[in-house]
Structure 1
Amino acid sequence: MGEVVGGKNANLGEVKNRVGLPVPAGFAISTHAYKVFLDHNHLAARLTELLGRWRLDDLDSLARVSEDLKQMILAAQAPPALEAAITEAYERLAAREGRRPLVAMRSSAVGEDLTLTFAGQYATYLNVGPESLASRYKDIVASLFTPRALFYYKNKGFKEEEMAMGVVVMPMVQARASGVLFTRQPDAAGQDAAFINAVWGLGRYAVGGVINPDHYLVAYQPPGQVLAQTIPPKEVMLVCRPQGGEAEVAVPPELVNAPCL
């Protein structure tokens, strides 16, 4: 399934349908849509040509190739059939939700979050309105070709045909707090505990290095026992703007030094 909808979409489907954890409704823009996008704009040959212009031992050309590839994608037109399919999927989601939600759009490349994490390599857009779905789709496709992503792909031995982007589309959650959970502590994998980073508001600041998040080490047995925690001051947070997009706001004074979980 990862080859059809990308790694993140595939994992969300497994977590929802097999594990039974709560996952918001949403839809996947498939990796086939990426190929349709390239074919509609006759980009495949040019893509191959540009990717062939640099090697791991020639990093000077990487920024130029990356910029050419991103501009090529952003200047292209989304196929009308693809735009219609995205709009139709959104309308079905809105009907199911009983409202017209702003959504999160996240990369779901082939291989992403499967054998390798690709952490921080590709784009995420939060609180997106339905009128911006097609343009944000192109932005996420273009993020396949940032210098970091291109270097990561080639350094890990991926082939060009393995570069295909799917996209996750899910309703925004108006998060009080957000974070990242590691099922094993990265620097102590043998310890039977989960490791959590968390911040107030939306989760981008939990992973972006903007602020120092809370850290929690939580035991599996007895379930939920907090073995250790570090609670630094958290003076700002990201929140959803009513009209779309994100805004940085001050954390209320009484919460700056408080644990967010």
Structure 2
Amino acid sequence: MGEQVISLAAKGEIEEIGGKARNLMDLMAAGFPVPEGWVVSTSAYEQFLDRNGLRGRISEALQDLDLKDAVKVVRCAESIRGWMMAGDLDSELAERLLKETAIFGPSGLWAVRSSAIAEDLEQASFAGQQDTYLNVTRERLAESVKKCWASYWNDRAIEYRHDKGVGHLDAGMAVVVQRMVNADSSGIMFTSDPITGDEKIMIESSWGLGESIASGLVTPDRFVCDSSNGEVKESKINSKTQAIFLSPEGEKAVDLPESERNRPSLTKG
């Protein structure tokens, strides 16, 4: 079996680290300021399944599942997630996570993010099918990794894999553990139009953490840029009444002052 924990500063095969982790590694290698982190590999996930005898139980539960019966799918998914959370995590893996993150001090907070092998297939996009956990303390890392693995077995992900012809036990699941950054502003960038496929860069941004965009708390600013030179071709600055920032208690939504609401959350420079 391969390495259980791989640094984002290293190189890894997509079969071991999944799509999201591979993209983060490529960005880091290209010199972009990517927050430090590690990948709990697909090997660790496979070992967890085998260690707890889950492969056979899951296969049996799915074998006769009527995917047209939404109630049964939900119940089946709940059962599998329960088995995952009750499973015993390799103590060496838990200790390795504590050791690697210790260099950032006991008060550091972490993002635990899914990185499934099937996340960015050409014929399907599995982004958003699994869960992300933010503001995770070192003491909760091992539990959060299991929760991330368990989210692979939510009802919407089971139905989506079936619809796309992806075997439930064929596609591995890695997890990214990445240092949280209390961002001044955050955003999402597409290197092509997600609807038309046109070659133009599209950016949506807002103040604070990106969760304010993902959760629909705000209507973000929107920028369209030329993919050849980065020149801004279009921009729409929206009124952003709130933002989410880190606090000692975790994420906190705050009301923005009037002077910030209509100010661009990103500027050129």
Question: Over aligned residue pairs, what C-alpha RMSD do you find?
Answer: 1.9
Q: Which residue of 2 aligns with 1:29?
A: 40
TM-superposed CA distance for 1:77, in Å, is 2.4
Match of 1:123 among 113, 131, 135: 131
Per-residue Cα deviation, 1:41-99 (whole angstroms, up to 9, x for no partner): 221111111222324444342111111111111222212122122222323xx2xx578
Q: Contact between 1:2 and 1:111, CA under 8 Å: does it hold in 2?
A: no
Match of 1:173 among 152, 177, 181: 181
Match of 1:16 among 28, 31, 34: 28
Please say which of residues 8-17 and 148-157 is displaced more in the overlay.
8-17
User: What is the TM-score with the length of structure 1 in the denominator?
Assistant: 0.89
Q: Contact between 1:56 and 1:155, CA under 8 Å: does it hold in 2?
A: no
Q: Which residue of 2 aligns with 1:213?
A: 220
Mapped pair 1:86 → 2:97: yes
Q: What amino acid does structure 2 have at the position aligned with 1:239?
A: F
SS of alignment partner, residue 118 of structure 2: coil
TM-superposed CA distance for 1:33, in Å, is 0.7
**Cα–Cα, structure 1 residues 242 and 114, in superposed 2: closer, same or farther, change >3 Å?**
farther
Which ranges of structure 2 fall in alignment gaps of 5 or more residues?
A: 1-12
C-alpha separation in 2, matches of 1:162 and 1:214: 39
Q: Which residue of 2 aligns with 1:251?
A: 256
C-alpha separation in 2, matches of 1:113 and 1:103: 24
Mapped pair 1:3 → 2:15: yes
C-alpha separation in 2, matches of 1:248 and 1:113: 31
Q: What amino acid does structure 2 have at the position aligned with 1:2?
A: I
Q: What amino acid does structure 2 have at the position aligned with 1:203?
A: G
C-alpha separation in 2, matches of 1:213 and 1:80: 42
Mapped pair 1:42 → 2:50: no
Q: What amino acid does structure 1 have at the position aligned with 2:114?
A: S
Q: Contact between 2:191 and 2:227, CA under 8 Å: does it hold in 1?
A: no
Q: What amino acid does structure 2 have at the position aligned with 1:119?
A: A
Mapped pair 1:137 → 2:142: no
* Identity %, equivalent residues: 36
C-alpha separation in 1, matches of 2:183 and 2:83: 35
TM-superposed CA distance for 1:100, in Å, is 5.6
Which ranges of structure 1 fall in alignment gaps of 5 or more residues?
A: none
TM-superposed CA distance for 1:3, in Å, is 1.0
C-alpha separation in 1, matches of 2:225 and 2:147: 37
C-alpha separation in 1, matches of 2:121 and 2:96: 27
Q: What amino acid does structure 2 have at the position aligned with 1:247?
A: K
Relative contact order (C-alpha < 8 Å, sep 6+): which is higher?
A: 1
